[in-house]
Amino acid sequence: MNSGKPDSTAELAEPGGAIGETIIADQETKTPRVMGVGHVALNARDPALTEFYREVLGFQVVPTQTSDLGENVFLSSHPADVSVDLALFGNSAFQHTAFEVRSLADLRAFLQRVLDRSVPVKFALNHGVSLSFYFDDPEGHLIEVYWPTGVACLPRHGDPIDLTLPDEALRRDVMELKPRERSK
C-alpha cells in the first residue's frame, strides 16, 4: 500500500518541497529563501498554558517522541499534517524560533551564511521530519533553521547530524529513522 509518503531515499522531498508538491527551483536568483516561521517554542512555567492555547486558538496536541527533553507539549492548528505551530517547554533553554526553508540546498546555504559570519552552530539534528541546525542571534535568541524532509514519522528530539555530508548520506540517515521507530 502506498500512502504517498516516501519509502526510499529516491522519493525523499528535494529539491525544494514536500512530496508531490511541484516547486520550481529558485534558479533565477540562486538565493536561498526562508519560507516563514515554522514554529515557535516558548518556556511554559505552568502546564495550564497548553489548555489556554487549545481553548483560545483551537490548537491540538501533536504526539512526539521528545520526552528526553523534559516536560514539553507540541501544538498544531492542523495536526493531521503532524506539523507544529507552537512548542511549550518546561526548560527555558529550549525556547527558540524555527524558520523553514524550501530545500536541502537552502538549508546548506543558510548554514554557510552563519559559518561565514563566524557564528557558532550549537548543534545540527536529524528530527526525521526535518533536518535542522541551531545558533544564537547576536542578542542570544536561539534560532533553528530547518528543512522538512517529507518523511512521515513522529517529531522527535533528533540525532546529531553532519550537514556537510553528501545529500545521499543525509537522505539515507533520515530514512533509517523509520525502521527504528517501528522497533520501539
pLDDT in tens, 23-78: 344 444 578 889 889 888 888 988 789 999 999 999 999 887 787 788 888 898 88
How, if at all, do strands 121-126 and 96-101 pair?
A: unpaired
- Check: CB of residue 78 under 8 Å from CB of residue 118: no
pLDDT of res. 31: 84
In angstroms, the CA 155 to CA 100 distance is: 15
pLDDT in tens, 158-179: 789 999 999 999 988 888 876 4
CATH 3.10.180.10 fits 31-183, yes or no: yes
- Burial-class residue 155 by CB neighbours within 10 Å (0-12, 13-18, 19+): buried
Percent of the chain with pLDDT over 90: 40
Virtual CA dihedral for 170, 175, 179, 184, nearest 10 degrees? 70
pLDDT in tens, 3-14: 343 434 334 544
The model's pTM: 0.73
In angstroms, the CA 156 to CA 7 distance is: 19
Q: Which residues pair with 40 in a beta bridge?
A: 86, 97
